[in-house]
Structure formats: structure tokens, C-alpha cells
Amino acid sequence: MNSRLFSQMCSDMGSEYEHLLYHSSVRWLSRGKVLQRVFEMHAEVEIFLNEKKHALASRLAEPRWLLKLAYPTDILTVLNLLNISTQGTEKTHLYVSEKLKAFKAKLRSWKGKIERGKTASFPLSNLFQEDEDVTLLDEQSVIVEHLEKLSEEFDRYIPDEELHEKYKWGRRPFDVHVKDLSEEESSIPNLQEELIEVQHDETVTSSVLDYCEGETSPWR
């Protein structure tokens, strides 16, 4: 009943959305979308909760509480985008490793920006930059600490050397010595022989040379 009443109220107000989203453990992207929808509809939710005389209604009118909601919404949104970008049958190990390595670098960059009071990288948090009732300083230490812990967790679960170095031959096969490849650590059978074939393929070599010289190349 509350869901129908809320939907009708939003319809009468001409709101962009008429429904809140609900988290489902089956749909692994839903948590970030739930927070985003609550943030976007916080005015409607506040009105509805006030009508119900709910104790939490006042929170949605507090700029500092909304800032607390904005940051997790921002960070979960970028995590969702990262997850989506690494899905799909055509995503190679090299592609995924480069995406993850870039994201880890972004985490360090974001931490430095927040320490300097810059929030442009987080769209919802950035909305509060000109708010007279709240400043980034109110939550700065919490955001910095979270970004630092998130960066540490990425480094713990996905070390840089596992992301790129082991498979860098896939991007630059002519810069790798065959003897440096360990077939024991690779899922590719006869890896060394495969690399030898590539390095001695005249067609591939000519294509690379043409590319390096700025000529039209099928590798471009």
C-alpha cells in the first residue's frame, strides 16, 4: 500500500521517477542504483515520510546527511561501471587488467583530490561545494579513509604484477624474450612456440614497422 501511495504522490508532483528501487542480492549492481534513486528522490521521500510521521524524515532535509549519502552513491556508481566494463565474452585478460590498473590509479588520484578539497570527480558530492550549510570538511576524513582502504583492498586482491607484467607480451610481443616466458604459469599450451611464430611472421613484422613509421596499417 505504501508503495502505491508513494507512486501516486510522485505522479501528482510530476516527479521524474515514481518508484524507489529495492536491493536484490541476485542483481549485483542493484545496491548502487538503490542509493542513486534515493538521492535523486530524497525530496519526495522526505514529504512521504513526514506524512507518515516517520522519525527518519528529518534526515532527508539535513545537508550533512545528504552529503553522507552522496559519496557512497558516487563510489558505488563508478564501481558498477568498472564491473560492467569488464564483463562480456570478448573482454581479454589484457583489457581487463588495464581497466583494473587504471581504476587503482584513479583511486589514488581521487584520494589526493579529496585531501585538497576537490570533489569534481564525484558528481553528487560536488553538488555540496557551494552549500552554505555543509562543506566537504564535514566528511573529508571519512571519504579519504574509505578511498585509502578501498585502494588497499584492490592492491591486496589484485596485485599490479598479476595484472600486467605476466601478460605484457600480448601487447608487445617483439619486446619479450622467449626464455622469459614461463609455460608453467600460463594457461596457454606451447606458449613459447606461439611467441616464436609471431616474432618470425613477416606479415606481422611488416605491419608493426608500418605502424611505427606512421603508415596505414591493419594494426592501427
**pLDDT score recorded for residue 91:** 80
Report yes or no: 108 and 151 within 8 Å, Cβ to Cβ: yes
129: helix, strand or coil: coil
Q: What residues contact 170, with CB distance under 8 A and at least 6 apart?
A: 92, 93, 94
**pLDDT score recorded for residue 216:** 46
Is residue 189 very low, low, confident or very high in pLDDT (cuts 50, 70, 90)? low
Rg, the chain, Cα only: 25
CA–CA–CA angle 86, 143, 103 (5° rounding): 20
Tell me the range of 52-61, 138-147, 153-162, 163-172 where mean pLDDT is highest.
Answer: 138-147
Helices (H) and strands (E) in the chain, counts: 10, 0
Q: Note the residue count of the chain.
A: 220
Q: Chain centroid to CA 188: how far?
A: 30
Going by C-alpha positions, the residue among 144, 137, 138, 141 that lies closest to residue 112 is: 144
What average pLDDT does the structure give for the chain?
Answer: 78
Going by C-alpha positions, the residue among 113, 104, 152 that lies closest to residue 136 is: 113
**What's the pLDDT tens digit per position in 45-81?**
898 888 888 888 888 888 889 989 999 999 999 998 8
Measured distance CA(127)–CA(161) in Å, rounded: 38
